[in-house]
Structure 1
Amino acid sequence: MSESNTPHNPSNEVERAHDAGALAQADRFADPGVPAHQPRLTDTDPRAAKRAERTVVILFTLSALGTIGSLVAYFAVRPDGTTQGVRLSTLMLGVTLAVSLLGIGFAAIHWAKSLMSNREYIDERHTTATSPEAREVAVIALQQGVEDSGIARRGVLKGAMVGALALFPLTIAVPLISSVGDDWNVSKFRHTLWQKGRRLAYDPDGRLVKATDLTVGSVAHVQPDATEEERRTGEWITEKAKSVVLLVRLNPEDIKSEHRPGASYEGIVAYSKICTHVGCPVALYEQQTHHLLCPCHQSTFDIADGAKVVFGPAKRPLPQLPITVDDEGYLVAEDDFSEPIGPSFWERLK
């Protein structure tokens, strides 16, 4: 009579007893199954179903009208170079696109909740490999889904849906196609409104900036000084957008490097606000570290060290505006930026 060499382990017996108890406990609970179907009003009242169908058709029609309205707004309400013109154009495009998208979304939701089948079905889990029989079952399920949606017997609803979905891509295609002839001359970004002797003015009120206005740690958003006649021209907004600058006063001892010697004045540095990644406005300044953060993609620049990139996707420093003061103590530009502002592009020399 031989004895087993495997040592007796009481914990194994405890685990087996626990598993058996769990199985016995599970057998005590009956499978609740699928709850009884609760019919909706549209399932029992043909008039309610008809009202729901009309509502969906109206929503799809509103979407189509929104698409047409966006095309009209795109061509008829063009930005005229003024702030009011840009705002009106943006508002009209935003409202009409919202109507177009929301019409499709609300129509789809209302259709699904009120007209499509809301019964619960059970699908048994099968093996991963798909047999010919399973494919036939899938085709039948798809056909059943089409039948449950009611699209085959609701011609008006189907036409409204197809029309809304067919029109919506025009809101994207038309602006893209119409922009083919736009001016893509990137060399325009090599020059801005800044030139020797042009004064710095606060943005947006246009007050001139004196060096004595700024204390160590203070920040100012500035633009080129311009006359009332210049500001009335259509080109002002575009040129101003390229010329916006962030002005910061540092302790002169904290400045490690600049784009060129003497570009700052008594610790006051001026850098382009346009991120060199994709052109977002860089305006979040951290006083203790002298870091400037772009809120779009978190590119971070050290303005005490020539606005070099210390973090993020940007690949080059922010361009620096060389500044000094005139005889009246106002801050003025000594020249334009030494390199193109904004995102890097394929024709940039530096």
Structure 2
Amino acid sequence: MTSHSDVEIPGDAELAQMSNDELARLGSRLDGVELVEYGERYVPGSPADKRAERKVAFWFLLAGLLGVLAAVAFIWWPAGYEDAYSDRQWLYALYTPVLGVTLGGCILALGIGVVAMAKKLMPHEVAVQARHEGGSAEVDRRTLVAEVMDAGDKAGLIKRRGVLKGSLVLAGGGLTLGAAIPILGGFIKNPWAEGPESQLWVTPWAPAPDGTKVRMVQVDGTPVSPADLEAGAMATVFPAVPGGGKASDAAVMLFRLRPGQAVSIRDGQQGFEYGDYYAYSKICTHVGCPVSLYEQQTGRILCPCHQSQFDVFDGARPVFGPATRPLPQLPLELDDEGYFVAASDFVEAVGPGFWENGKFPAWGSTPKGSS
């Protein structure tokens, strides 16, 4: 076994002046390495050598292509929500799988390429080395780096393999692009480009382009009339439009309060109710859970996820828990057949998150019927 004591160790000044080849040879001696076999896998420039290079380059080129496709899919694939009744729902459903296949395939192809490069292009080597205990000295670390670089130089991976070098650069660039685009993607598309008609503002309760107002229906499609609810009751209703029962921002709680109940109306929402009937979004303003538990006596609406509570007697304002914004109220009226319809869409955003940015005025409330 060879030890450091058997090899003359150069000083720091000599180490700094040694070439990669000299450092690599020194490292082998210091590590007690005996090369049993060493040499090129193929004759440089031979058909077999070129064939191996093309096989490795294929995986790197594939990785680069998949990385670019991941970025293209992230930006241009139709990712807007499509309900189950839309003829484009299959495109929406494929968005996440497409991103997973392209970005995951990029990483997989890059890994296969690196393994193939080690097996097909790196010099063939069989070495024997005795194990040692403890950490490595500085000279061992310096020479190890030199040995790795020396192996690359001898294999000609950079100097004489232009196809491999270009494909490796493309693979690295494609992977970087595919990984970075989800972070930068939020700066590409403006969610407010359509102004008041932007997707974050509009729900299925919005009137049709011809002005037709959306009727309220039960989950089975039955229209809802005032006679369907008893005093103190609550029912979940949906818009009578295709896919309205599955739209994430469409579920609404319709309340019928008891006659004579003291109620406060939120500022700017006077007239949104119809007599003792009030309609509020079922989507919690904390993180979007369904608020479906109602206590008639106290008028509390409870979100079961994080225990936020809203007071239906005071404009559905939050009175307990992490929610900080009232539930949006849907304006109500009756159509010519005596069924409930939405007089308009919600006048504020449904759900949590982006609304709470401080640019909208604070809300208040006044007793119902006061001037």
Amino acid at match of 1:300: S
What CA deviation, in whole Å up to 9, does each residue of 1:298-334 have, x standing for no partner? 583425461416323x431221124355564422335
Residues 80 and 125 (structure 1), Cα distance of their counterparts in 2 relative to 1, 3 Å cut:
closer
SS in structure 2 of the partner of residue 315 of structure 1: coil
Q: Distance in 2 between matches of 1:81 and 1:67?
A: 24
Work out whether residues 215 and 342 of structure 2, in 8 Å CA contact, stay in contact via their aligned partners in 1. yes
Q: Distance in 1 between matches of 2:227 and 2:334?
A: 10
2:10 corresponds in structure 1 to none
Which one has a larger percent strand, Structure 1 or Structure 2? 2
Q: Distance in 1 between matches of 2:103 and 2:228?
A: 49
Work out whether residues 56 and 107 of structure 1, in 8 Å CA contact, stay in contact via their aligned partners in 2. no
Work out whether residues 60 and 103 of structure 1, in 8 Å CA contact, stay in contact via their aligned partners in 2. no
Matching of residues 113-128 of structure 1 within 5 Å: 115=118, 124=134
What CA deviation, in whole Å up to 9, does each residue of 1:69-88 have, x standing for no partner? 34555677547996546535
Match for residue 302 of structure 2 among 270, 291, 314: 291
Tell me the CA shift for residue 91 of structure 1. 4.6
Amino acid at match of 1:106: L
What CA deviation, in whole Å up to 9, does each residue of 1:126-176 have, x standing for no partner? 9xxxxxx74x65454555566789997385666444312312444518855
Work out whether residues 284 and 291 of structure 2, in 8 Å CA contact, stay in contact via their aligned partners in 1. no
Tell me the CA shift for residue 182 of structure 1. 6.7
Q: 1:302 and 2:310 equivalent?
A: yes
Q: Distance in 2 between matches of 1:210 and 1:331?
A: 6
What CA deviation, in whole Å up to 9, does each residue of 1:182-239 have, x standing for no partner? 717479677775579944334888653334555777652522x56xxxx7xxxx99xx
Residues 340 and 182 (structure 1), Cα distance of their counterparts in 2 relative to 1, 3 Å cut:
closer
1:30 corresponds in structure 2 to none
Residues 106 and 204 (structure 1), Cα distance of their counterparts in 2 relative to 1, 3 Å cut:
farther
TM-score of the two chains, using structure 2 as the length reference: 0.50
Match for residue 225 of structure 2 among 194, 197, 210: 210
Q: 1:222 and 2:238 equivalent?
A: yes
Match for residue 170 of structure 2 among 163, 166, 170: 163
SS in structure 1 of the partner of residue 189 of structure 2: helix
Residues 208 and 95 (structure 1), Cα distance of their counterparts in 2 relative to 1, 3 Å cut:
same
Tell me which moved more, 338-347 or 178-187.
Answer: 178-187
RMSD of aligned Cα (Å): 5.7
2:107 corresponds in structure 1 to 105
Q: Distance in 2 between matches of 1:282 and 1:68?
A: 36
Q: Distance in 1 between matches of 2:202 and 2:195?
A: 12
Amino acid at match of 2:69: G
2:34 corresponds in structure 1 to none
Work out whether residues 252 and 280 of structure 2, in 8 Å CA contact, stay in contact via their aligned partners in 1. yes
Q: Distance in 1 between matches of 2:336 and 2:78?
A: 43
SS in structure 1 of the partner of residue 92 of structure 2: helix
Amino acid at match of 2:236: A
2:356 corresponds in structure 1 to 344
Which one has a larger percent helix, Structure 1 or Structure 2? 1
Residues 182 and 349 (structure 1), Cα distance of their counterparts in 2 relative to 1, 3 Å cut:
closer
Residues 170 and 125 (structure 1), Cα distance of their counterparts in 2 relative to 1, 3 Å cut:
closer
Residues 105 and 170 (structure 1), Cα distance of their counterparts in 2 relative to 1, 3 Å cut:
closer
Tell me the CA shift for residue 94 of structure 1. 3.1
1:282 corresponds in structure 2 to 289
Matching of residues 158-197 of structure 1 within 5 Å: 159-171=166-178, 172=181, 175=185, 178-179=188-189, 183=193, 185=195, 194=206
1:69 corresponds in structure 2 to 69
SS in structure 2 of the partner of residue 99 of structure 1: helix
Tell me which moved more, 65-74 or 192-201.
Answer: 192-201
Q: Distance in 1 between matches of 2:172 and 2:227?
A: 60
Residues 82 and 263 (structure 1), Cα distance of their counterparts in 2 relative to 1, 3 Å cut:
closer
Instruction: State the aligned residue count.
Output: 281
Tell me the CA shift for residue 55 of structure 1. 7.5
Tell me the CA shift for residue 108 of structure 1. 5.3
TM-score of the two chains, using structure 1 as the length reference: 0.53
Q: Distance in 2 between matches of 1:221 and 1:120?
A: 76
Residues 162 and 204 (structure 1), Cα distance of their counterparts in 2 relative to 1, 3 Å cut:
farther
Residues 266 and 252 (structure 1), Cα distance of their counterparts in 2 relative to 1, 3 Å cut:
farther
Q: Distance in 2 between matches of 1:162 and 1:137?
A: 31
Work out whether residues 59 and 112 of structure 2, in 8 Å CA contact, stay in contact via their aligned partners in 1. no
Work out whether residues 63 and 110 of structure 2, in 8 Å CA contact, stay in contact via their aligned partners in 1. no
Residues 214 and 105 (structure 1), Cα distance of their counterparts in 2 relative to 1, 3 Å cut:
farther
Q: Distance in 1 between matches of 2:324 and 2:361?
A: 14
Q: 1:321 and 2:333 equivalent?
A: no
Amino acid at match of 2:64: A
Q: Distance in 2 between matches of 1:112 and 1:324?
A: 67
